[in-house]
Structures are given as structure tokens and as C-alpha cells.
Amino acid sequence: MTVRDDVMAVEAIMVRARQAQATYAASGSQGLYDRAALAAGWAIVEPDRNRTLAELAVATTGLGNVPDKISKNHRKTLGLLRDIRNVATHGVVRDDPETGITEITRPVGVVGAVVPSTNPAATPANNVINALKCGNAIVLSPSPRGVETCQRLLGFIHAEFDRIALDPDLVQMLPPPGSKAKTQRMLELSDMVVATGSQDNVRRAYSCGRPAIGVGIGNASVIIDETADLAAAARKIAQSKTFDNATSCSSENAVIVVDAVREAFLEALGREGGAQVRETPALMARLFPEGRINPAIVARSSERMLAELGLSGSLPPSTRFLAVETQGIGPEHPLSREKLSLVLSVYRAPDFAAAADTAHTILRHQGAGHSIGLHSADDARAIELGRRMPVCRVIVNQAHCLATGGAFDNGMPFSLSMGCGTWGGNTIDDNLHWRHFVQTTRVVRPIPAREPDLDEIFSEYWSVTGGDG
């Protein structure tokens, strides 16, 4: 097919999506939107389908591992469905006699979603559920390695749609093979764009001429101070670092340990499978050939990683990830970047203030806007980080990648896409969730005038400046 043929195929898909969405909204009700969201949720949560999607994702992308993908598909979807269960997304949602304003929730239309290979089932399912809950149609553009998983997911969703008489054109994907031309045309024809994955995808979304929501790059640093429960911190960091072979952008990339507990913490980390290794030229050459992370270790098992790095047999058999001690930060120090692998950089600091300085420097280099972690018994330090650091999330005493995108034991919305605010070049600063998939019409009526006099507004100011001029 020619590029023109590809573009025409995308245009036909978008026409069908727009027609399906118009019918869906015209016959819409809260019950219909809720059933549609539950149908898409059951398409991935049903155990046999979940396993099929997890196994296919690992087999076709080579990223992550099956048990953790099953857990991710289940928990992220179940948590999202819990979050939206009693949320009103159709019709009048607020009527305020005091202001005279009635708010009516409306769909955004056709959503175009670019989704990554790291989560080729969970991320599109999350986007689909949010879109349907809010009365929209959605068209997915999967990464090349995620095409087969996305196709299978849509087959499961359409099977559920058959059971409740929903139009399958509400949820579509671009025809394979993927191409920039196809994705670009989808972006241009969407009413709203959501982009998760590479920063190239995000930049293209923001420049497509349509309203766009993108997310920033991760590079999470976690501070361990002298008040931390070291055993618990090591256990949570190990759990998070190894989950799905570190596919998550929220996985810890660096820990910064104050000197007073450094040795004790490293011992605790070792008991959790974190093997300490030195930053040698030989190791760095294998980790970062030509200055970039070795693709053969990205989101791979510890066995595969150790073999690629020439470390098989030289480390304890209990090794689950590497803890590489370093101090360098910046372009010439690749250990200070996001790694998406079972490699954890370990920095030392004389005290909490210095640890915070190091974290700030890492964020300025890469990861601004995303998140920072803290293991501490001093909550004031968490507030201090929240006031000072250029991040949208401070994760306290939790397994970072399991907490950042929402968890059953914290209050964050369940999501696989984290907005990073202006620090990360994004339009949102929270987790992508249902509110981003609706818009509001306001009916505005006259009310008794509430015009203040000048004294009411300026009296405090005048008391400081000595009068009204």
C-alpha cells in the first residue's frame, strides 16, 4: 500500500468512529456508559483473557514477565473501575441555585490514543474504559511490538460489545503495520489526543493541531533518610524495582541514602536481592554501549541481564537486580538517567538536605515533573520535598511504581499515564483519569447582583500602603 492508501484507511476508520460516537451519545445514558466501561473492563480482567494477553505481550514485545503483567492488567483495571463506579458522566451533574449555574457533562468526541509497548494491554484498556465511561469513541495507535496484543484486546472487547449490543466501531485501532503517517493522520482527525510512551510520541501529539494530553519521562529518585524503616524500605524498593522487569516509568532509577544508615540499608537491600557492584569502565561499556542503555537488558529478567553484562556466576544466585554505586549526574553519567531495567543507581549523601540536593540535580537532568520517593518517619520532610522539588508526586514509604499510578492503599487515581505539569512539558499535572475525557456545558442564569464596594476589596491593602492613594 502507498502512503496515500494508508492515510485513506485511517480516514475511513475515523469516519466510522465519529458515526458510532454520535449514535452512542445521542442514545446515551449513565447506565449505557457504565455498561460499556464494564464490558471493556471484563474483556481484560476475565482470568483466561488476562493470561492470554499477558503471555502474548511478553512473547511479542520481549518486555516484562507474565505473572506481573497478569497482576497489572487485573489490579490497574479493577482499581480504575472502582474509581469510576459511582461517577456521574452523563447529563446534569451539578445544579447550584446560589450561582444559578447548571453543569452538564458532555463527551469530547473521538479520542486518539497512542499507547506504548511496555503495557500493550493495560494502557489501552485504561484509555478505552475512560473513553467509554464518558460517552466517547476511541481509536488506538499501538507501538509496532504491541500490535498483536492490542488486536487481541480489541477482539475481547468486541465480543463483550456483542453481548450488550454496542457498536464495535466505538473502539478501533489503526491497521497494521504501524507507521508515522497513519498515526499522524489519526492525531489530526481526533477530537482529543492522549499520548503515552516515548517523548517523540508526546511531542508529535502536542504538535498535531488538536487538543492533546501527553505525559512526561520518568526517572524516579528515592531518598532513604536516617529515620527510615530500612528493612521495609529495602523490601518495597526491591518489589517495585523488579515488578514486570522494571517496565514502568515509575520504577526507581536511583536511591539516595544518607551516610548514617548507608551500610545498614545496603545490607538490607542485599537481603532483598540487590547485588552491589562497582561502576567500572567494563560494566559501563556493557550497560551503555555508545552511551545508550543496552536494549538487550531493557525490561528483561535478571538472568538475561546478568548474562548480557558478563556477570553470570559472579554474583549471588539470589540476585534480582543490580545496585550500582555512583555519584555522577548529567549527560556524561548515564546511570543518572531513566533505565527501564533491573539496574538501580545508588547515591550517598551526608544528610537529608544533601540528599534532597542530589535528587533535585537528577530531576533537572531528567525526570522533572514526574515523581520523587521518600522513606522516612518524618512527614515534615515529605512536605518539604513537595514544596521544593519540581515534581507532581511525592511518594512516601511505598513501593514507588506500585503507588504512583494509584493503589488500593493510597488515594491516587488508578492510571498508567502520569502527567508531569509544566516541569515535564505536559498539560496535566495529575494521573490521567476520567475527568480528562469529558467537557462541561454550563447553563448560566441571572442571580441577585453581588457587586462589592471598593473598601470591601481594598481595605487590607490600604492598611498596608497608608490609604487609597
Lookup: cell for 149: 496484543
Contact 348, 359 (CB under 8 A): no
Q: Report the distance separating Cα 33 and Cα 69, nearest Å.
A: 27
CA angle 131, 52, 141 (to 5 degrees): 40
What is the DSSP-derived secondary structure letter of residue 99?
A: T
Contacts of residue 451, defined as CB under 8 A and 6 or more positions apart, other chains included, come to none
Contact 46, 73 (CB under 8 A): no
3-state secondary structure 315-346: CCCCCCEEEEECCCCECCEHHHCCCCCCEEEE
Contacts 24+ apart (CB under 8 A), 279-284: 279/324, 279/325, 279/326, 279/335, 282/310, 283/309, 283/324, 284/334, 284/335
Reading phi first (left if > 0) and then psi (alpha if -120 to 50, else beta), residue 161 is in alpha
Q: Report the distance separating Cα 59 and Cα 69, nearest Å.
A: 12
Contact 367, 338 (CB under 8 A): yes
Beta strands, E only, 179-313: 192-195, 212-214, 220-224, 252-258, 274-278
Contact 196, 123 (CB under 8 A): yes
For cell 523488579, the residue is 242
Contacts of residue 323, defined as CB under 8 A and 6 or more positions apart, other chains included, come to 255, 266, 269, 270, 274, 275, 276, 277, 344, 346
Contact 151, 60 (CB under 8 A): no
* Given the residues 208, 249, 392, 401, the one annotated as active site: 249
Known catalytic residue at 249: yes
Reading phi first (left if > 0) and then psi (alpha if -120 to 50, else beta), residue 223 is in beta
Q: Which residues carry out catalysis?
A: 249
